[in-house]
Amino acid sequence: MSKKHLNNGHIPLIAKTAYGSGDMAFTFGTAITGFYLLIFLTNVVGLTGTIASAIVFIGFIWDAVTDPIVGHYADRIRSKFGRRRILILFSAIPLALSFFGIFGISTLIATLSPETLGLQAQALTAIMYLKGFLVLIIYLLFYLCYTLAYIPYIALINDMTDSYRERTKLTGARMIATILATIIAVAVPDLLMGDVTLTHSGSQFILISAIFGVLMVLILVFCVLFTKEKAPAHAQENKKFKWYQDFIGCYREPQFRKAALAFMFSLAAIFVLQDTIQYYVNYWLLSPELFLPLAGSVLVLGFLSVPLWIAISNKIGKKLTLIAGVFCWIVAFLLFAFLPQLPFQEVALAFQGEVYIVPFGILEAMASFPWWGWIAVFILGLGMGNIHLTAYGMYPDAISVLTKEHPEKEGAYFGAASFLQKMGIGVATLIIGPILDLSLYAAKPGAEWFRELDLAGLEIDKTWLYIQPHLESPLAIKIMFCVLPVVWLILAMVSVRGYHIDALINDREERRTDKVNE
């Protein structure tokens, strides 16, 4: 990128592409863990919903705590690659290896049992806690590596340009890449593995985690090589991180606080959707094959709608655009709430009170899906593109305004925003597991039932779907899927009351344009 571009704020297309594509590496990690980790831990590793969601929650809390510390020290790095890109580069390979560990090594951990460890059958509960602890260690390593790469990445946008409109375009490029990466992260595992909720087998996760680990490294290297940072306006003093001054003090700025809270609640809504959609299509709709058409359609529509929302936000500001997106989500989930359980082919097995069915294939499942469900998918797709653009775009704008006179706090602000993001996602995920357990959710029948089945000479086909033995479970799953995302987004909408950064930046951009015209 030339100095001319850096001086006038314009970013060339290759740099926009490189910056936007960088988010694909992080999205691969968060989308695959978001869509698959919780159900992988309950249905493959064999953990209870509470233990599984606690692992995710602790991981996000750990990530949240490390965010402001990394943000503080990232401001003070000096290198020929700049203060942001050098950290991204050095973190790329550790990030990929730790991501492989989450699913690849956890697949091996899933094979632990009292028999393999030479223990009595009564040690089953202890083995489950051991498996949970081992998975947690891997998960914490992943999020440490994630933070080391992600914090400098999200701060890079303000080091590339001071222009509000260019940052909006960069955010748009990032969100297009994010949604595209999410589509890939949903489709590839589903196509390669089949439905993990049916097979209860994690062997294909080793291949999936290796493929996406390699992609993470390649994408981050591309991002580093084809972006460039402005020279910092002021040299950053090397000093120790202070929790109040460099972290808590950030939240005293009301405009930053409003934007960061909206970011937190918006990402909580997106992750609840990701965490619960597999359970919803399997155990409420009884159509596992609908996961890819529904999730894929929402993500493709979100991808296509981003340019529309960019144009709208440039006209009315990101705050009003966010509110429009929240109403899209509300309408969509109202329609989802009225979807009935769908038909299936036949009951495949009824044995000692447990039932397996043969669900419809993808074409039959799509044909049986109600028309208002497809309307809900369309509206949710529009809302998905909106929330990605506005949630990820508002807090960098607030930071840009606030750090004009205090550039040494830029990284701390980004760390503080990421802290709230992780806290919101962690709490939102933590709620899901106990609800599953309280509703008596079961991934499959108990070990004794399988022994009786074996003695009876019967087998279960991997394409059969286990029907929840308690009626409360499907209903609880439906409520979680339809209600929790809406609650989080209403909180996001409330958070931006009194947010006026859009007006401040528009005034600044108009003054800059007038000065250039003169």
User: Pairing between strand 346-351 and 354-358?
Assistant: antiparallel
CA 119 – CA 111 distance, rounded (Å): 14
Q: Which of 71-80, 147-156, 461-470, 493-502 has the lowest mean pLDDT?
A: 71-80
pLDDT in the model for residue 3: 46
Average pLDDT, the chain: 85
Residue with structure tokens 């709620």? Answer: 431
Return the closest-CA partner of residue 25 out of 228, 274, 297, 223.
223
C-alpha 172, offset from chain centre: 17
Answering whether pTM is above 0.85, one says: no
Return the closest-CA partner of residue 200 out of 416, 90, 39.
39
pLDDT in the model for residue 499: 87
Q: Is residue 8 part of a domain?
A: no
Q: Is residue 345 part of a domain?
A: yes
Q: Is residue 294 part of a domain?
A: yes
pLDDT tens digits, one per residue of 166-219 = 887 888 888 788 878 988 988 888 777 765 555 556 677 888 899 999 999 999
Q: Is residue 155 part of a domain?
A: yes
pLDDT in the model for residue 67: 75
Residue 368 tokens read as 């049986």
Tell me the residue type at 116: T
pLDDT tens digits, one per residue of 100-125 = 999 889 988 988 888 777 777 777 88
pLDDT in the model for residue 513: 47
3-state secondary structure 258-295: HHHHHHHHHHHHHHHHHHHHHHHHHHHCCCHHHHHHHH
CA 470 – CA 341 distance, rounded (Å): 15
Q: Is residue 237 part of a domain?
A: no
pLDDT tens digits, one per residue of 389-433 = 888 888 888 888 777 766 667 767 877 887 888 889 889 989 999
Residue 80's CATH number? 1.20.1250.20
pLDDT in the model for residue 256: 87
Q: Is residue 9 part of a domain?
A: no
Look at residue 514 and tell me whether its pLDDT is greater than 50: no
Look at residue 81 and tell me whether its pLDDT is greater than 80: no
Q: Is residue 124 part of a domain?
A: yes
Range of the domain at 170: 15-230+242-517
Residues 6+ apart with CB under 8 A from 8: none
What is the average per-residue pLDDT within 452-474?
90
Q: Is residue 340 part of a domain?
A: yes
Count of domains for the chain: 1
What is the average per-residue pLDDT within 246-271?
87
pLDDT in the model for residue 198: 52
CA 378 – CA 372 distance, rounded (Å): 10
Q: Where are any strands of DSSP class E within 306-345?
A: none
Look at residue 456 and tell me whether its pLDDT is greater than 70: yes
pLDDT in the model for residue 8: 52
pLDDT tens digits, one per residue of 50-70 = 999 999 999 988 988 887 778
Residue with structure tokens 């899901």? Answer: 432
